[in-house]
Amino acid sequence: MKRPGMMIREVLGSFTKKPVTITYPALKVQMPDKFRGKIVYHAHRCIGCMLCVRDCPSEAIAINKIGEKRWEAIIMMDRCVYCGQCVDSCNKDALESSKDYELAALDKSTLTVDVNIDGPYPVAVPVADPPAADPV
């Protein structure tokens, strides 16, 4: 247990130290290279092999054919656990973990995006919710 004298010294000492926190969002932390943030899909590299869909533990990604050698990814950021498995599974470097960690949203529907060669946009038709858990 700390004695009162030690505690006072620590309190007074903290006045001369820099704070350990930052004034987010005014200041933002630069994430390290291997950080697993928002998933980025490069549609022009995708061959529709579905390995990412098969390996995703959260059913957070879907790949749809939208034309001759054209694919789109539906990415459900609210289901994603940012494990990076889809990135590892993709042999074509069509998926990438970005350093973007600012994923909070007031409207959950904005967290499901359709990404294709023309760019990302919110999905108009809501995707089905995951099945309800069995009652215990």
Stretch that binds ligand SF4, among 5-13, 88-96, 102-110, 114-122 (CB under 6 A): 88-96
Q: Which of 79, 40, 42 is nearest to 58 (CA)?
A: 79
- The yes or no reply on residue 31 touching ligand SF4 (CB under 6 A) is no
- The yes or no reply on residue 37 touching ligand SF4 (CB under 6 A) is no
Residue number, 27 or 128, with CB nearest to ligand SF4: 128
- Give just the sign of the alpha carbon dihedral 84, 88, 94, 98: positive
Contacts of 25 (CB under 8 A, 6+ apart): 102
Chain positions contacting ligand SF4, by CB under 6 A: 39, 46-52, 56-58, 60-61, 63, 80-86, 89-90, 92, 94-95
